[in-house]
Amino acid sequence: MRAVIQRVTQASCTVDHIITGEIEHGLLIFIGIEETDTEDDMKWMAQKFVNLRIFSDENGLMNKSIQDVGGQILLISQFTLFAQTKKGNRPSFIRAARPDIAIPMYNSMSNYLSELLNKKIELGIFGADMKIDLRNDGPVTIVMNTRDKDNY
């Protein structure tokens, strides 16, 4: 499982001119799911999301988590995080999970994050042509991969 986490002052997802998810202060999380990802991977990453201390405290230092600041999450499925570009110029997405595996994992991530934060998680639409608008705060952008847990 791979994720790109962005601290934002606002973010929204639009599909066919309809807003499917929208947040103010919080995290925009793009998540890619691999065939071999497990529920343990999902829970590990979700815990990281809610506990990352990347929001500023009263001294301007990144010491607060999304829980501490009462922030929101917009969760977007993004299979292109598993793009392989080693051969040729056209990316291969062979490592990205098929929808029958990825959709339940994406839904589980949303539900688990909702439980951890005790609030609704805003979403995109899996597999749709989504338009994402955001105002990156900082900018703060973090990339995570469950296959490399020792570095996170």
* Active-site entry in 9, 36, 80, 141: 80
Rounded CA separation 66/83 (Å): 29
What is each CA distance from 144 to 10, 42, 96, 137, in whole angstroms? 21, 12, 16, 18
Candidates 12, 14, 13, 9; CA nearest to 26 is 9
**Could you give the 3-state DSSP secondary structure of residue 152?**
coil
Supply the DSSP symbol for 123. E
In contact, 121 and 107? CB cutoff 8 Å: no
Radius of gyration of the chain (CA): 15
Rounded CA separation 11/7 (Å): 10
80 is catalytic: yes
Residue numbers annotated as active site? 80
